Amino acid sequence: MPSLKAPAKLAIIDCNTDKKKTGVYTRLPIEVYKNRAEKHSKERRIDFSVFKPETEKRMPDLKSFDAFIISDSSYTPTQEFMEKEELGKMLPEFISKLVDSGKPSLCICFGMEAVAATFGVYPVSNEEHGTGRIFHFGYSTILLEMNARKDWLFSDYKDRTKAIFAHRYILLQAPEGSEVLAKTYMLPVAAFRKGNAYCVQWQPDLDLKHLLESAEEHKKSDLMPSYGYEPSLNPFSIISRYKPEHDEQNAQALDLFFRKLTQ
């Protein structure tokens, strides 16, 4: 029997851009969102609206939606980007109002860094941080903080859950007034919450197939080091540590976010 509840209205802010601007092609895996949402649709359907602010020159109306997702991007929200690029100039006002509204949002990788940048904390490159690599691609273990166990997005997470990371920049601290929820062995901040905005450095909307595609794109880009080799982009390195259950573990943040919307 179909649910009598009105559909939950979800706005996805697609921050992806074309290859000409960043040297890397990325796309919004909308089919992953829809497939994951379908799992919870018996209780309440989720209606998706996708916004591309860089080309459409607009952000969604906060009053018209129940929840929001700010996607990943091949952009990096450095201070220069936030001050000079069109998308960077549009995000802070929207993010500030979103956090103030209390409406739930999931901010993924670039989205996480954009929230931090809005409140004065900018990401640094892996090279600057001294991790010994330019890219971080692959499945890493999430280490939840104790306070995350009481949080609705992470309360059902198991210890040592695996998640997909595909990024060049990291946060060394969370913005003031936020709560750090997770880290990894390499990252001091892998997830934080600012108000009801949940920000994760990993990418719950990817799976092994999408991760390998993204690694190939980065290998072809001008972002590669001059010596032409970056271990974490090696598909054999990625696959060698992969187990089928890792994709389901990685998607938990998306599943639990959708479950909350359909209740």
pLDDT in tens, 196-221: 999 999 999 888 777 777 767 666 65
Give the three-class secondary structure for 208. helix
Nearest to 38 by CA among 263, 244, 262, 211: 262
* pLDDT on residue 117: 98
pLDDT, tens only, 225-236: 444 445 555 655
Is-contact 85 44, C-beta < 8 A?
no
* Residue 249 pLDDT exceeds 70: yes
Sorting pLDDT into bands at 50, 70 and 90, what band is 17? confident
Q: Is 212 left (phi over 0), alpha (psi -120 to 50) or beta?
A: alpha
Average pLDDT score over residue span 112-134: 82
Residue of 100 and 223 predicted with greater confidence: 100
* pLDDT on residue 3: 46
- The rounded distance, in Å, linking the Cα atoms of 215 and 213 is 5
* pLDDT on residue 227: 42
183 CB-contact burial (10 Å; exposed 0-12 / middle 13-18 / buried 19+): middle
H or E stretch at 114:
helix 110-118
Q: How much is the pTM?
A: 0.87
Beta strands 46-51 and 179-183, pairing class: unpaired
Average pLDDT score over residue span 117-143: 79
* Residue 23 pLDDT exceeds 80: no
Identify any residues that bridge with 1 across adjacent strands, giving them in sequence order.
none
* Residue 119 pLDDT exceeds 80: yes
* Residue 77 pLDDT exceeds 90: yes
* Residue 90 pLDDT exceeds 80: yes
- The rounded distance, in Å, linking the Cα atoms of 218 and 249 is 24
Which range among 48-57, 103-112, 153-162, 166-175 has the greatest average pLDDT? 103-112
Nearest to 156 by CA among 167, 164, 148, 145: 148
Is-contact 209 164, C-beta < 8 A?
no
Residue 99: count other Cβ atoms within 10 Å of its Cβ.
20
* pLDDT on residue 63: 96
152 CB-contact burial (10 Å; exposed 0-12 / middle 13-18 / buried 19+): middle
* 3.60.15.10, 3.40.50.280, 3.40.50.880, 2.40.10.10: CATH of 8-262: 3.40.50.880
User: Where do the domains of the chain lie?
Assistant: 8-262
Sorting pLDDT into bands at 50, 70 and 90, what band is 5? confident
Mean pLDDT of the chain: 84
Average pLDDT score over residue span 150-160: 87
- The rounded Cα 39 to chain-centroid distance in angstroms is 20
* Residue 173 pLDDT exceeds 70: yes
* Residue 41 pLDDT exceeds 90: no
Which range among 137-141, 147-151, 222-226 has the greatest average pLDDT? 147-151
